Amino acid sequence: MKLDDTTITGLAHTPSPDEPGARLATHVSRLDLTNFRSYPALRLDVGPQPVLLTGINGVGKTNLLEALSFLAPGRGLRRAALPDIARLHDGTAAASWAVAARIDGRDGSVSLGTGMEANPNGGPARRAVRIDGEPARGQATFAERVSMIWLTPDMDRLFMEGGSARRRFLDRMVYGFDPEHARRIAVYEQAMRGRQKLLRDGSGDGAWLASEEETMATNGIAIAAARREVVLRLDTAIAAEDGLADRPFPRAALALEGEVEDWLAEGPALEAEDRLRDVLAAARSRDADAGRALRGPHRSDLAVRHRDKDMAAALCSTGEQKALLIAIILAHARLLGLARGAAPILLLDEVAAHLDQERRAALAERILSLGAQAWLTGTDRRLFEAFGENAQSFDVSAGAVSPATGDSP
């Protein structure tokens, strides 16, 4: 988690292919899908270079990125309900679905698997998680093996909407630096739900409530501290980039807004824990009425500004907002590459289509210099021309993915 200052200063220059982040990027080498949306069965072998997926609308490009996104903690890039993902065929949904991937990187090779399996006790279907074939404790464990960041067309409104999507975006960036962050969030949210249930039932069990609040306080402060550290590192790194007016991607300014983060800025973490514990204990009746916890790090927000124009991201043009998001993701990938020796896997859904030719070329150049395995989708191969021979191209057609041939789209 701790990065030294040399790491940050190193961000101001363009990386050479010899840098650790460029050589050792963690990448998917094999992907197997079973009954995953439009794919009855798919095996895809790929190398560490960027993967370019071309195909007509509705053919299954985003489905493929969604499958990969299940290798990160959470509910995937569509946040879909598990049963909706099971392949529908002739009006019947498959009883289970699975995503399995082999991940290669500087720490060797690992197989990650997840999916929905039928519950033998007859209850709702469950999410299964396996690492090297062995059942694992939860998807949070995946964050120790691979880090992944995505951009989808849905995120075009990230700066305009409520804070929860921005928090998830930030948390995905934090997982890369601090894999425990995913587990802490799961524990915090479980305790928050447990506390709310006790408040709703009015059972009056003070000791039990206090125990849930204790879990919320310790994990909540650790969550806020990890977010704060990554936002600070990222903001410092971006500020150190050159501020030329003709940059293809604008520089962002990032800050965390939330009272818990303010406490951490004012004093030690232990004091902040005490404060959160006290705040929660004092807010029981109010939270019972509201039906949710009104204070805590689950209310914090990531504030983004266009640094060079000094303007809130929400006030920037659609294209500027997209460029800001790309800039943040690239800065994060670069920082992570330098800090952990491995750039994250990038899932970039329809990103190239929204960029002009110059920005498309700049994006390809940045991805290649990061050495990251980026997965990009598009409806036209020409969108990816700037990658030249340095990427692997595939055509996506209903339920199948095949190496691109010269005469495809």
Verify binding: residue 38, Mg ion, rule CB under 5 A. Answer: no
126 and 117 in contact (C-beta within 8 Å)?
A: yes
- Judged by CB under 6 A, which stretch of 56-64, 250-258, 311-319, 383-391 contacts ligand ATP? 56-64
Nearer to ligand ATP, 67 or 343 (CB): 67
234 and 298 in contact (C-beta within 8 Å)?
A: no
**C-beta of 337: minimal distance to ligand ATP in Å?**
28
DSSP string, 22-62: HHS--EEEEEEEEEETTEEEEEEE--SS-EEEE--TTSSHH
**C-beta of 80: minimal distance to ligand ATP in Å?**
8
Which regions of 90-199 does DSSP assign to beta strands (E)?
92-93, 97-105, 108-117, 126-131, 134-135, 148-151
Residue in 3, 8, 44, 59 binding ligand ATP, rule: CB under 6 A: 59
Contacting ligand ATP within 78-137 (CB under 6 A) = 84-88
Which of the choices ligand ATP, Mg ion, none does residue 88 contact, using the CB cut-off of 5 to 8 A by kind? ligand ATP
Nearer to ligand ATP, 69 or 218 (CB): 69
- Judged by CB under 6 A, which stretch of 59-67, 172-180, 316-324, 387-395 contacts ligand ATP? 59-67
Verify binding: residue 34, ligand ATP, rule CB under 6 A. Answer: no
DSSP string, 237-296: HHHHS---TT-SSPPEEEEEE-HHHHHHHHS-HHHHHHHHHHHHHHTHHHHHHHTS--SS
Residue in 55, 176, 258, 296 binding ligand ATP, rule: CB under 6 A: 55
By beta carbon distance, the residue nearest Mg ion is 62
Residue in 27, 61, 227, 340 binding ligand ATP, rule: CB under 6 A: 61
Contacts of range 267-270, beta carbons closer than 8 Å, 24 or more positions apart: 269/221, 269/222, 269/225
Which of the choices Mg ion, ligand ATP, none does residue 63 contact, using the CB cut-off of 5 to 8 A by kind? ligand ATP
DSSP string, 310-364: TEEGGGS-HHHHHHHHHHHHHHHHHHHHHHHSSPPEEEETT-GGGS-HHHHHHHH
Residue whose C-alpha is closest to residue 227's, from 142, 271, 147, 167: 167
333 and 158 in contact (C-beta within 8 Å)?
A: no
Report CA Rg, the chain: 22
Verify binding: residue 58, ligand ATP, rule CB under 6 A. Answer: yes
Residue whose C-alpha is closest to residue 112's, from 128, 100, 98: 100
Strand partners, 108: 105
120 and 104 in contact (C-beta within 8 Å)?
A: no
Which of the choices Mg ion, ligand ATP, none does residue 54 contact, using the CB cut-off of 5 to 8 A by kind? none
Contacts (Cβ under 8 Å, ≥6 apart) of 269: 221, 222, 225
**C-beta of 142: minimal distance to Mg ion in Å?**
23
**C-beta of 233: minimal distance to ligand ATP in Å?**
33
Contacting ligand ATP within 346-385 (CB under 6 A) = 379
Verify binding: residue 300, Mg ion, rule CB under 5 A. Answer: no
**C-beta of 365: minimal distance to ligand ATP in Å?**
25
Verify binding: residue 409, ligand ATP, rule CB under 6 A. Answer: no
Q: How many residues bind ligand ATP (CB under 6 A)?
A: 16
85 and 96 in contact (C-beta within 8 Å)?
A: no
Verify binding: residue 69, Mg ion, rule CB under 5 A. Answer: no
Verify binding: residue 62, ligand ATP, rule CB under 6 A. Answer: yes
Strand partners, 257: 301
**C-beta of 209: minimal distance to ligand ATP in Å?**
41
**C-beta of 350: minimal distance to Mg ion in Å?**
6
Residue in 26, 49, 54, 63 binding ligand ATP, rule: CB under 6 A: 63
Strand partners, 104: 27, 109
Binding-site ranges for ligand ATP (CB under 6 A): 37-38, 55, 57-63, 84-88, 379
Q: List contacts with Mg ion (CB under 5 A).
A: 61-62
